[in-house]
């Protein structure tokens, strides 16, 4: 077997990004004829035309589309290996980091994170983005530096993960609500009018499954798309919101929170990033700082929650 020319991987990566022989040649500082010859070698190596003419331009074949992300990851990893490790000067670091998270995360952890950044790296700015789904495309295409949430089946297998804290579902009602007094049993909890949270029009499966085991079910007075909307409705009505405890603690400030009288497992909130950023000193610093801040905030005691019954572990978001 003849030796592989690994330089062709860089050429293929640029060709698939540009979709043009001329554009790829300009990026790599080659002549158009040299790039055409390189494309020919790639076609021989892969046994596929990769780019075919469509009108005045070129379009990728199915094989090329299949290879595009894989080649990009290989080139990213190679660049990370060969990139020299620079000493990070936090005081002069000027950068905007984009963090994608669900409702409640910024409200609970944002202030502490920004306060630490102001001391350590005063020129760094954070851009918080909402997280409407678990699609990891923003991490892969570089529009997001870090993401927080629960690991999902739709997440790309290459995405890196680190646990931040454990959380659990709790009930939230307004002060003076009937469930704010006395022991909350499964029957009392189920008998209330609930505001359900769903990003896809589905009810929250873990809670409803646990109630179903007991022969109980919830009556939905409203269905909303996020934690803040659910808590706002519960604050202004007699409806019950069921939300993550730590993740939404500040959103439910001043309300009565109680442990659910159900057998539910806790779940883990993690941070995610693309492997291209593994060796980036600035991103690594931010990941470490976010982990420390989340651990500190999540570990702070909270005596405002009702019921003393312990919860089993729960998974899901």
Residues 185 and 251 in one domain: yes
CATH number (domain holding residue 281): 3.40.190.10
Residues 210 and 224 in one domain: yes
Cβ–Cβ under 8 Å, residues 199 and 186: no
Nearest to 39 by CA among 23, 75, 62, 79: 23
Residues 108 and 176 in one domain: no
- CA–CA separation, 19 and 2 (whole Å): 28
CATH number (domain holding residue 53): 1.10.10.10
Residues 145 and 56 in one domain: no
Per DSSP, what are the bridge partners of residue 225? none
pLDDT at residue 203 in the model: 47
DSSP letter string over 34-97? HHHHHHHHHHHHHTS--EEEETTEEEE-HHHHHHHHHHHHHHHHHHHHHS--PPP-TTT--EEE
pLDDT at residue 105 in the model: 92
Task: Give the residue ranges of the chain where pLDDT is below 50.
Answer: 1, 203, 308-317
Residues 173 and 262 in one domain: yes
pLDDT at residue 313 in the model: 35
pLDDT at residue 85 in the model: 59
Residues 280 and 249 in one domain: no
Residues 185 and 152 in one domain: no
For the segment 61-118, what is each residue's pLDDT rounded down to a tens digit? 999 899 888 888 888 888 777 766 567 899 999 999 999 998 889 999 999 999 999 9
User: How is residue 304 written in tokens?
Assistant: 């405002």
Residues 175 and 103 in one domain: no
pLDDT at residue 76 in the model: 82
C-alpha distances (whole Å) from 284 to each of 95, 268, 277 are 13, 21, 8
- Flag whether 76 is in a domain: yes
If one counts the domains in the chain, the total is 3
pLDDT at residue 3 in the model: 63
Domain span holding position 125: 95-166+269-299
Helices and strands in the chain, H and E counts? 11, 13
For the segment 199-222, what is each residue's pLDDT rounded down to a tens digit? 665 545 789 999 999 999 999 999
- CA–CA separation, 201 and 134 (whole Å): 15
Which domain-ending residue is among 20, 47, 82? Answer: 82
On average, the pLDDT of the chain sits at: 87
Per DSSP, what are the bridge partners of residue 134? none
- CA–CA separation, 207 and 169 (whole Å): 9
HSE-CB at 83 with a 13 A cutoff on CA atoms is 15
Q: What is the distance, to the nearest Å, from the Cα of residue 290 to the centroid of all Cα atoms in its chain?
A: 14
Beta strands in the chain (DSSP E): 51-54, 57-60, 95-101, 124-130, 146-149, 160-167, 169-173, 193-197, 219-224, 240-244, 256-259, 267-273, 305-306
- CA–CA separation, 142 and 88 (whole Å): 21
> What is the rounded radius of gyration, in angstroms, for the C-alpha atoms of the chain?
25
What residue has token string 């005045």? Answer: 56
- Flag whether 72 is in a domain: yes
Mark 188-198 as b/e (b = at least 16 C-beta within 10 Å).
Answer: ebbebebbbbe
Cβ–Cβ under 8 Å, residues 164 and 148: yes
């Amino acid at each position: 077997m003849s030796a592989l020319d690994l330089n062709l991987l860089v050429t293929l990566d640029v060709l698939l990004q540009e979709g043009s022989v001329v554009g790829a040649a300009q990026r790599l500082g080659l002549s158009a004829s040299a790039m055409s010859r390189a494309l020919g070698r790639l076609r021989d190596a892969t046994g596929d035309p990769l780019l075919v003419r469509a009108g005045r331009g070129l379009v990728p074949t199915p094989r090329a589309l299949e290879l595009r992300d894989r080649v990009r990851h290989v080139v990213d990893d190679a660049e990370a290996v060969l990139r020299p490790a620079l000493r990070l000067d936090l005081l002069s670091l000027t950068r905007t980091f984009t963090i994608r998270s669900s409702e409640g995360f910024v409200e609970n952890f944002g202030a502490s994170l920004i306060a630490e950044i102001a001391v350590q790296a005063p020129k760094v700015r954070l851009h918080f983005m909402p997280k409407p789904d678990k699609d990891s495309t923003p991490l892969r295409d570089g529009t997001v530096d870090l993401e927080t949430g629960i690991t999902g089946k739709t997440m790309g297998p290459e995405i890196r993960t680190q646990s931040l804290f454990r959380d659990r579902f709790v009930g939230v009602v307004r002060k003076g609500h009937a469930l704010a007094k006395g022991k909350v049993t499964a029957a009392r909890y189920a008998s209330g009018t609930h505001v359900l949270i769903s990003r896809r029009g589905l009810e929250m499966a873990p809670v409803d499954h646990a109630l179903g085991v007991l022969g109980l079910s919830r009556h939905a007075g409203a269905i909303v798309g996020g934690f803040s909307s659910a808590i706002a409705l519960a604050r202004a009505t007699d409806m019950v919101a069921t939300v993550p405890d730590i993740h939404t603690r500040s959103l439910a400030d001043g309300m009565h929170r109680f442990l659910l009288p159900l057998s539910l497992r806790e779940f883990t909130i993690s941070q995610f990033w693309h492997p291209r950023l593994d060796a980036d000193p600035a991103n690594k610093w931010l990941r470490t700082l976010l982990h420390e801040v989340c651990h500190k905030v999540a570990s702070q005691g909270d005596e405002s929650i009702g019921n003393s019954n312990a919860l089993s572990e729960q998974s899901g978001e």
